Structure 1
Amino acid sequence: MLIVAIGVVVGFPLLSALALQYLTSAHCIVFIGILPMATAIFGIIRGGERPRPIFWVFSIIGSLLVVGYAVAQGLTASPVGDILMLGAVVLCGLGYAEGAKLTKILGGWQVISWALALSFPIMLPLSFIYMPASFEGISVGAWVSLMYVSMFSMFIGFIFWYKGLAQGGTATVGQLQLLQPFLGLALASWLLHEKVSIAMLAVTFGVILCVAGTKRFAK
């Protein structure tokens, strides 16, 4: 349970939030394309799953597309941000795999509830450390976003996610995360008015084809 807490409650949210200080959300979103690979690898290590070899071909291609995009953008532009995102993805993949394993025993809502409870002693002091000097400049939209992340991204969503991973297999169901960049880029453009380049769209389309391949040859 401690692994789940470190991976999905502390590690990924904290490191990805720090990375956003150096990178645009669109750049970070494309980085999420590596997460299915990390989840699949830890699914094998922690859950003993054994996908077919062709599954790995599509999974590796999808991850290489994302890594290649990051390199093409120039890692020297913000090496700190890219390192933070890489660490976030690795910890998240571990937390997903371990959570799926425990869900088979305890249940989805029990796993994430305990993970949140165990993380409280760590997250409370971090909240004060990174607390802004003043709350006056924070918009209503930012507060609403914080509440959404707290309720849905960090709790309700995990109940269904861990249940799906436990029933369908961590490696297989985890490949659906390759669709996240497509949705994330659309939201980044719509809500944050960030520029979404042709290269970003091309990489996203490529990983969508890869997730289709992994689903086809999962077993």
Structure 2
Amino acid sequence: MRTHDSATATTAIAVTAPGAPGTGPSGPPASTAGPSGSSTAGTVSRTAGPPGAPGPAAASRAPAADSRGRGTLLAGLGVVAFSLTFPSTVWGLESFGPWSLVAVRSTLAALVAGAFLLAGRVPLPERRHWAGLAVVAGGVVVGFPLLTSLALRTSTTSHAAVVVGLLPLTTAAFAALRTGRRPSRTFWIAAVSGAVVVLGFTLAESGGALSTGDLYLFGALLVCAAGYTEGGRLAGLMPGWQVIGWALILCLPLMVAASAVALSLEPVHLNAHGVIGLVWVAAGSTFFGLYVWYRGMAAIGIPKASQLQLAQPLLTLVWSVTLLGETLSPAAPVAAVAVLVCIAVTQRSTS
């Protein structure tokens, strides 16, 4: 029974409970005639409000639109945080070896996440979620950072950005296989077009040459797409920051041990760039970036959120110019506009 009274409207609704006799699996309850032939399953009475007043449907659409807008903003913030990962990793490699950098960044990020989980007195995830958290941990906490760090020893950031350009398509494909949903044809045309633009642009920027780190980069592409997909699914069941938080905690014992071993075997030469790069990839990319990213994916869906990453290679190139002194070609604005058009199409398409 729900009753709402105001100066302009009065509503009283009585319905049978879901699954009760006289109701179907969905939709309104079926009417059951009483002895006098009157309906006993539901009664609706309404006093109309003033002309032009928003109805229940309009009121329900507003929160949904707000949720989509908020989800797009959060996923976009994640993309900005991720776009700084490659330049920050290059800085971090000035002070640490690739194995040390990944182990220490994951350890620091896990400590930050653990502090938040303890402060919020968050209970342990249900047992059925641990397998998914392991996929997130293997893909985005360990796999992607390690493989890209190994690749960036020989590849430039612009060449490595090819991976990010292909990541939205790979993530959408993983999501389709994992969830059984099939995005629309318009969605796929726009997504492929955007990926082609990004791929062509980044290959042109790097001269079209393949580096020895390509196998690392393509491996990173696969494990990251799997981690994004599973993390997006879990973010629909628990807050996004808890998804990445528990994935980091799951890796903590291994990463502490790996840090001790790697730091003893790889030389460490601390400088300002190295420390800043380490702090950003730990707190910015690994924790904050994934926190807002998973929240955004939970709100707008995995395929649409993944398409926002089409802008990530271009942002990475901007940071490369600003932070690393690389040269950006005049073709960048043209590619940026083309990518933004593709993103707009994917956001408006149904999936």
Alignment correspondent of 1:63: 195
Q: Is the contact made by 1:46 and 1:101 (CA closer than 8 Å) also made in structure 2? A: no
TM-score (norm 1): 0.87
Q: Is the contact made by 2:159 and 2:203 (CA closer than 8 Å) also made in structure 1? A: no
**Displacement after TM superposition at 1:66 (Å):** 3.8
Tell me: CA distance 1:133–1:172, structure 2 relative to 1, closer, same or farther (3 Å): closer
CA distance in 2, matches of 1:159, 1:193: 30
Alignment correspondent of 1:93: 225
**Displacement after TM superposition at 1:13 (Å):** 0.7
Alignment correspondent of 2:18: none
Greater helix share, structure number? 1
Q: Is the contact made by 1:181 and 1:204 (CA closer than 8 Å) also made in structure 2? A: no
Extract unaligned runs of 5+ from structure 2.
1-132
Tell me: CA distance 1:108–1:24, structure 2 relative to 1, closer, same or farther (3 Å): same
Tell me: CA distance 1:174–1:133, structure 2 relative to 1, closer, same or farther (3 Å): closer
Q: Is the contact made by 2:198 and 2:310 (CA closer than 8 Å) also made in structure 1? A: no
TM-score (norm 2): 0.56
Q: Return structure 1 stretches of 4+ with deviation > 6 angstroms.
A: none
CA distance in 2, matches of 1:9, 1:191: 24
Mapped pair 1:51 → 2:186: no
Relative CO higher for 1 or 2, CA cutoff 8 Å, sep ≥ 6?
1
Mapped pair 1:123 → 2:255: yes
Q: Which amino acid aligns with 1:190?
A: T
Q: Is the contact made by 2:162 and 2:198 (CA closer than 8 Å) also made in structure 1? A: yes
Tell me: CA distance 1:103–1:202, structure 2 relative to 1, closer, same or farther (3 Å): same
Mapped pair 1:164 → 2:164: no
Alignment correspondent of 1:5: 137
**Displacement after TM superposition at 1:197 (Å):** 3.1
**Displacement after TM superposition at 1:188 (Å):** 0.3
SS of 2:213's partner is helix
CA distance in 2, matches of 1:126, 1:54: 45
Q: Which digits, 9 at most, give the CA deviation of each residue in 1:137-159, with x for residues without a partner?
A: 33112202211211121112222
Aligned residue-pair number: 216
Mapped pair 1:14 → 2:146: yes
Extract unaligned runs of 5+ from structure 1.
none
Q: Is the contact made by 1:172 and 1:218 (CA closer than 8 Å) also made in structure 2? A: no
Q: Which amino acid aligns with 2:279?
A: M
Q: Is the contact made by 1:15 and 1:84 (CA closer than 8 Å) also made in structure 2? A: yes
Q: Is the contact made by 2:191 and 2:346 (CA closer than 8 Å) also made in structure 1? A: yes
Mapped pair 1:37 → 2:189: no
Q: Which digits, 9 at most, give the CA deviation of each residue in 1:40-67, with x for residues without a partner?
A: 1111122233321111011112223344
Mapped pair 1:25 → 2:147: no
Q: For 1:209, which of 341, 345, 350 is the aligned residue?
A: 341
